[in-house]
Structure 1
Amino acid sequence: MFARIAELAIRRSRLVLVLAFVAVVVMGVVGAGAFGKLKEGGYDDPASHSSRAQKAIEEKFGGETNLVLLVRAPGGRIDAPAVRRSGQALVAGLKSDQNLENVVSYWDAGSPILRSKDGHEAMVLAHVKGDDTHRAKNAKSVIDEYTGADKGGLGVRAGGGAAIGNDMSAQVPKDLLLAEAIAVPLTLVLLLLVFGSVVAALLPLVIGTIAITGTFAELTVLGGATDVAVTATNLTTALGLGLGIDYALLMISRFREQLATGASVEDAVRRTVLTAGRTVAFSAATVAVALSALLVFPQYFLRSFGYAGVGVVAIAALGTLFVMPALFAVLGHRVNSGRLPWAKRAHAEARAPLWGRLAHTVMRRPALTALPVLAVLLLAASPLLGITLGTPDERVLPDGAESRQVTSVLREKFSGNDDAAIRVVIDKPVSRAPLDSYAARLSGLKGVVRVEAGTGTYAGGRSTAAGDPALSRADAQRINVVSALAPRSEDAQSLVKEVRAVAPPAGSRPLVGGTGAELVDSKDSISGRLPIALGLVALTTFLLLFLFTGSVVQPLRALVLNMLSLGATLGVMTWIFQDGHLSPLLGVTAQPMEASMTVLMFCIAFGLSMDYEVFVTSRIKELHDQGEDNESAVVDGLGHTGRIVSAAACLLAVSFFAFGTAKISFMQMFGLGTGLAILIDAIAVRGVLVPAAMRLLGRSAWYAPRVLRELHGRYGLTEGGPAPAAAPGSAPQPPYAKNAP
């Protein structure tokens, strides 16, 4: 197959480039409609109790409270006649707004629980209509119109889930714009430094453009058929450019190496496709496998990253395999055009002496060099022993965000936060006496401030006031369990489980929802599918690496080392973002690790680490198959690929580290964590642990049982063809082991 691709690129190079250009234009036109098809949200499992509870409340009771307007009377009390009139006028406007329903205010209900303890502030509760996408637009419209420092003599600020989502939606584009403004210029400069010529530095941008436009077109099509989160576009741009750099760097380096031996352009293209092209194909397969694990999760937020990730990897690989050889065939030696003056000598040799000497040193003293690295990685991973997972709340926002400030006021100045209440819905008729008894038992749970139901308001296990008729229907009942516990805290999650454990009215099966229940269900959903995802990644990665190497030891070695680097990365992120170290420096608030972003970071970092694993192992295996002993193959293999891997890692890490400037804390975590994982893998794992492991394993590194060797001989894929002969007059380069001091 790869030989045919090479011949196609050589014989029909201009046709391939014309077709590629047309394809990019078509994909760009289709992909331009992606944002109109993609959705906000997608963090919840639609089959969970909390999601079903939310759906039942929306169908039967007009939706639960997701917007809290905090109204303050400047210089006076909220009960003053003038303030009351202004408040009633504000509420009248809210009730007439078509984006809202279930508007309840202190001035209408007269309930003291909607007034602050000092009497200077009051709450207006409402439900913003629409699904995740339309709710975000509707919330923005309401907040822009009704909040401000002077609204009819009142100060109005917005809080609650809808307002938090609005603030996040406003901040994320700013963070992305700043990150790209930092990453893109730095990447362009680094490309020039790494490639050493203007033409070669521009080639990765061709692959990146193909990958990004193609994936946007894919997301547009998928968005018309299923739920796809708009946040998947962020991964598309970052990963598309990153993989374009990775794959192009490998191909260009190999093409230049072949030209430097005196090979013709046609032979250089053939050899590049048969070796580096094959490596790209296997590398793409391993990355796609890691990202496809995201498809097993029910949250379409995670599945969307799976759609985008698999798509961008596949399209980047196809572009590299077909377009890059055609460009080589057309450019020939002009691939080095625009060479920078200081790069002439630096790029004359294919090998990197530093990496060869490092590999030689490690293989001479594997235990002495590897044990300190292992100790550091294990120490870095140790905070994982205390990791806890959560979902995004107001704390991911900067301290100055309005919705975060409102949430703090609600927690400190009001008796229980209605917005964070546990929502219980019974989707069938229930008699008054059983409902009364059930609500009273709920009010007796530790941490509960009050329970509101159609039959009454309860506290301490007994009825204390009349009920709210709006919470009762002939065919359904709704109960609000209000506590003073911090939303999403461990105590709040325990309360959700206790509420679910209380015996319901006979013949009924209550659905328990609310923010705390959503967190419990989200954690259960992710933890329940995580073993399946990890098993899928491990099994398919093992099979792919076996087909690539013919060894059962190499896949196991790769999995163990990659898990070490990922464990260290996740441990450092836990130490920073959960335990609070370096929080002042980064401007974040310590809180549980965001579950979805942690899983996403793991899958992407694992895929990229396997990317570099294939880069290195492919060259080692090629040299081993040509007759070099194990030590020489590792030393020479790292000498050839070390510079490629380190350069690619630095370029890709820059793109992710740029997210460290974000104001949204989970974006900071994702960017810093992924960038750190890439550097740990490229330097510590590839530079030290791989040669140490290969030295300790010796000949057994390539072991496979006889039956599997026969299987690999039939179905396995190996590098194609013998190495070309050196050009006349060129002296062979001695192994690094011989040159080492």
Structure 2
Amino acid sequence: MSVVEVRPPRPDSAPSRAGLLGRIGSAAARRFRVTLVLWLVVIAGLGALAPKAMTDLAGAGWQADGSASVQVRDLAQRHFGGAASSALQVVVHTDRGTVDDPAARSVIAEATALLSADHRVAGVVAPQPGATVSKDGRTAILLAGARADTNDMVRAADDLKAPLAALSGHGVTVSATGSSVLWSDFNEANHNAMLHSEIMSWPVTMAILVLAFGSMVAAGLPLLLTISGLASAAGALVLLNHLTPVSIWAMNFAMMFALALGIDYALFLVVRFRAALARRGDAVEAVAETMDTAGKAVALSGATVLVSLSAVMLVPVPAFRSMAAGIMLAVAFVLAATLTLLPAILGRLGRKVDNGRLPWARKAAESETEEADGSPRFASWGERLWRHPLRYGLPALVVLLALAAPLIGLRTAMPSITVVPPDASARVGYTAVQAAFGPGMPGTLQIVAPAAEADAVRAAAGATPGIAAVTPAQSATDGSGLVMVQAVPTVDPSSKALGATVDHLRAALPEHALVGGAAVENLDLQSALDARTPLVIGVVLGLGFVLLLLALRAPLAALAGTLTSLLSTAAAFGVARLVFQDGHGSGLLGFTPQGFLDGWAPVFFFAMIFAIAMDYTVFLLAAAKEHFELTGDPHRAVTGALRHSGRVIFAAAGVMVAVFFTFALSGPLPPKEMGVILGVAVFLDAALIRLVLLPVLLRLLGRSAWACPRGLARLLPDIRFSH
């Protein structure tokens, strides 16, 4: 007796009845005006809030919630006059005389007045000889305590760094630095670079869309979805920001995903709509068929993307969680527009969807062969893969494994000061502090402990290898019975040796002492990311497999789709190690390698890459399942899937690769990392996995790819992709 169940094909005579998505799509098409008005209300209502996203969203949030260093920052803000890691540091340097000369003292007085007038500053601590005045007397540091939270302190840095720099003159230089200023400069530099890259990518995107669709009207539909989803998501982010801080980066990534998925979904639906319209002749019926087939794949793809990104919520980093939330909102709105607004527009346009056809596309359309039967070129490619699976599958696998091999030696760390431009305020001040006080001064450690442990804390810090100086214990300003001791390391904050110093110090300190400071917050953040990355990867893979299993009722096909997505991700990070850690091609891309990959890349970029890869996986496997349901023939399932989805995958990937690689040309390092990693991942996934390796696996598995144990089949929903 067979232990598996393979669904028989549906007889050709079986009546065709629209499913849920088909009914939704046809209802939207019949009620075009109602659908359009509802969407205009949503877009206008939320879109009116969208401009506030650039100013209202948060600039900080890069921290490991619950870590000892975050506790120290909170204690320092509450009990030590705002002397937390988020406080602003203002460096005053004179080339003539010392900071005690009248010109420098006048500048210090003006800077103090400027800082004191800001409501987010708790108080200003004047330069202290022997502590914040250099031995040569040429450099002094003002400390502006943090009265507000980290996000507001970044906004304070946005507002104050330029007026402070304007005080420079007559041989005196003023520059704001510190953690809050660093994040201000970091966000500004990267936001400008990403915006520039997005502007550069639009002409390329439009050109590829016109080539892919063959008509100007059809090419504009992805942009309609993008604008609808992005405007709505941006307004929703502003509203969400009133409940919990949302990172400004959420907007950047939401824009990118809205564009990417808007293009993918529109391509898939419009291509299928054209084919259905060529067969049926009635636009509403064509919409119903399109939504019952390709619409289900789009819905599954959207669910997979949302599930993949939801796993990022497991990382206790506010910036990560809000960025994931931003992308998820954009995906949700684009998906909603794809399932309602796009069918309504397609139903209204009918054959007008092909208005503005290019000459070569018009000639191909005259025979209607391409529209009714899909792409003959990709059908021919599918036949070739079916006849010679190992000839093409093995080389693709070897290339992917070779590119993934360098992943073994990948190192990650939080970025150094070099991620901001040389003329940025934070970097100028940082360099001046190091020159005047030593390499470890910008990474000064803060130790908070009960007053009774003050002597023990100072003794332990003084005896710790890697500590250059220890300050006297400072009592809390509110009588809380706490003291703060500051320890200056011997090395730069980005040095790997600092981590060992902090570990030794924590082991030697009394039980109730906590170690913090901006540099330690970075170390704790890196530790949190390292600890949660395996969990996030496991959850993403597991949930992705479950979703495919629920939709396909085919464990082997679902497993093949999931594991091949992991392979393209591994290859992309292998390339990232060669480029950003080892420096291959750094001259061409215009950056200086740090010797590691930025710490947030593995967990966050993995979720993004896997989401995009599963997008293509769903398109291909849904098309294959549709053809298997209709024919029961694994051969026709593979070739039919490539015929009807191969061109979509190829064109959508081309757009995304072009978009991502424009980020690789940006000035700052983080957008370069994102552009190269995501661009390589999408290219490899489309070219070697979805169009070669996955069809080969389906060929080798044959009918077993679509088989399901009877016991499992009784537990799974009966979802059909054929109409």
Normalising by structure 2, what TM-score? 0.90
In the other structure, the counterpart of 1:533 is 536
In the other structure, the counterpart of 2:381 is 358
In the other structure, the counterpart of 1:367 is 390
Amino acid at match of 1:497: D
| Residues 168-198 of structure 1 deviation map (CA, whole Å, 9 limit, x = unaligned) | 2332332133112201222222222211112
> Which residues in structure 2 correspond to 1:95-174 (within 5 Å)?
96-98=116-118, 100-101=121-122, 103-104=124-125, 106=127, 109-111=128-130, 114-115=133-134, 120-148=138-166, 150-151=168-169, 153-174=171-192
Q: Is the 1:423–1:480 Cα contact (8 Å) retained in structure 2?
A: yes
The offset of 1:412, in angstroms, is 4.5
Aligned with residue 708 of structure 2, among 689, 695, 704: 704
Structure 2: give runs of 5+ residues left out of the alignment.
Answer: 1-19
> Which residues in structure 2 correspond to 1:288-687 (within 5 Å)?
288-346=306-364, 348=368, 349-350=370-371, 351-426=374-449, 428-430=450-452, 434-454=453-473, 475-504=481-510, 509-591=512-594, 592-627=596-631, 629-687=633-691
Distance 1:278 1:247 in 2: 11
Q: Is the 1:391–1:595 Cα contact (8 Å) retained in structure 2?
A: yes
| Residues 134-171 of structure 1 deviation map (CA, whole Å, 9 limit, x = unaligned) | 21232233322232584354122333223322322332
In the other structure, the counterpart of 1:734 is none
Closer, same or farther: CA 25–362 of 1 in aligned 2, 3 Å: same
The offset of 1:486, in angstroms, is 1.7
In the other structure, the counterpart of 1:280 is 298
Amino acid at match of 1:651: V
In the other structure, the counterpart of 1:260 is 278
The offset of 1:718, in angstroms, is 1.1
Give the number of aligned pairs: 695
The offset of 1:556, in angstroms, is 1.1
The offset of 1:368, in angstroms, is 2.9
Q: Is the 1:40–1:133 Cα contact (8 Å) retained in structure 2?
A: yes
The offset of 1:339, in angstroms, is 1.1
Residue 211 (str. 1) matches residue 229 (str. 2): yes
Distance 2:115 2:153 in 1: 17
Distance 2:710 2:480 in 1: 72
Distance 2:94 2:422 in 1: 23
Bigger Cα displacement from structure 2, 562-571 vs 406-415: 406-415
User: Which SS does the other structure have where 2:176 is aligned?
Assistant: strand
Closer, same or farther: CA 619–704 of 1 in aligned 2, 3 Å: same
Q: Is the 1:148–1:155 Cα contact (8 Å) retained in structure 2?
A: no
| Residues 236-280 of structure 1 deviation map (CA, whole Å, 9 limit, x = unaligned) | 222112211111111110011122235432321221111111111
User: Which SS does the other structure have where 1:78 is aligned?
Assistant: coil
User: Which SS does the other structure have where 2:331 is aligned?
Assistant: helix
Q: Is the 1:387–1:574 Cα contact (8 Å) retained in structure 2?
A: yes
User: Which SS does the other structure have where 1:339 is aligned?
Assistant: coil
Distance 1:301 1:352 in 2: 43
Distance 1:544 1:95 in 2: 54
Amino acid at match of 1:53: V
Closer, same or farther: CA 334–121 of 1 in aligned 2, 3 Å: same
Distance 1:247 1:92 in 2: 55
The offset of 1:594, in angstroms, is 2.1
In the other structure, the counterpart of 2:12 is none
Distance 1:84 1:406 in 2: 16
The offset of 1:199, in angstroms, is 1.3
Distance 2:112 2:33 in 1: 68
Distance 2:57 2:116 in 1: 30
Bigger Cα displacement from structure 2, 355-364 vs 236-245: 355-364
Distance 1:693 1:358 in 2: 15
Closer, same or farther: CA 142–369 of 1 in aligned 2, 3 Å: same
Bigger Cα displacement from structure 2, 344-353 vs 171-180: 344-353
User: Which SS does the other structure have where 1:110 is aligned?
Assistant: coil
Residue 69 (str. 1) matches residue 71 (str. 2): no
Bigger Cα displacement from structure 2, 65-74 vs 703-712: 65-74
Distance 2:162 2:314 in 1: 39
Distance 2:529 2:107 in 1: 44
Q: Is the 2:382–2:638 Cα contact (8 Å) retained in structure 1?
A: yes
User: Which SS does the other structure have where 1:114 is aligned?
Assistant: coil
Closer, same or farther: CA 634–449 of 1 in aligned 2, 3 Å: same
Amino acid at match of 1:212: L
Q: Is the 2:320–2:604 Cα contact (8 Å) retained in structure 1?
A: yes
Q: Is the 1:14–1:330 Cα contact (8 Å) retained in structure 2?
A: no
Distance 2:156 2:304 in 1: 42
Aligned with residue 60 of structure 2, among 41, 55, 60: 41
Normalising by structure 1, what TM-score? 0.88
In the other structure, the counterpart of 1:199 is 217
Closer, same or farther: CA 84–651 of 1 in aligned 2, 3 Å: closer
Instruction: Among all aligned residue pairs of Structure 1 and Structure 2, give the percentage whose two residues are the same amino acid.
Output: 31
The offset of 1:224, in angstroms, is 1.9
Structure 1: give runs of 5+ residues left out of the alignment.
Answer: 455-467, 722-741
The offset of 1:307, in angstroms, is 1.4
Distance 1:435 1:127 in 2: 23
Bigger Cα displacement from structure 2, 479-488 vs 169-178: 169-178
Distance 1:680 1:655 in 2: 15
The offset of 1:392, in angstroms, is 3.6
The offset of 1:64, in angstroms, is 2.7
Amino acid at match of 1:535: G
Bigger Cα displacement from structure 2, 157-166 vs 444-453: 157-166
Amino acid at match of 1:420: G
Q: Is the 1:143–1:158 Cα contact (8 Å) retained in structure 2?
A: yes
Residue 183 (str. 1) matches residue 204 (str. 2): no
Distance 1:425 1:361 in 2: 69
| Residues 383-441 of structure 1 deviation map (CA, whole Å, 9 limit, x = unaligned) | 32222222244121234434324433433542353331111101x331xxx52233122
| Residues 91-117 of structure 1 deviation map (CA, whole Å, 9 limit, x = unaligned) | 6546744454564555xx22177316x
Q: Is the 2:77–2:146 Cα contact (8 Å) retained in structure 1?
A: no
Closer, same or farther: CA 579–635 of 1 in aligned 2, 3 Å: same
In the other structure, the counterpart of 2:32 is 13
User: Which SS does the other structure have where 1:155 is aligned?
Assistant: strand
Q: Is the 2:74–2:84 Cα contact (8 Å) retained in structure 1?
A: no
In the other structure, the counterpart of 1:457 is none
In the other structure, the counterpart of 1:464 is none
Distance 1:470 1:115 in 2: 26
Distance 2:140 2:490 in 1: 17
Closer, same or farther: CA 552–336 of 1 in aligned 2, 3 Å: same
In the other structure, the counterpart of 1:459 is none
Distance 1:378 1:84 in 2: 61
The offset of 1:305, in angstroms, is 2.0
Amino acid at match of 1:668: K
Amino acid at match of 2:133: L
User: Which SS does the other structure have where 1:242 is aligned?
Assistant: helix
In the other structure, the counterpart of 2:3 is none
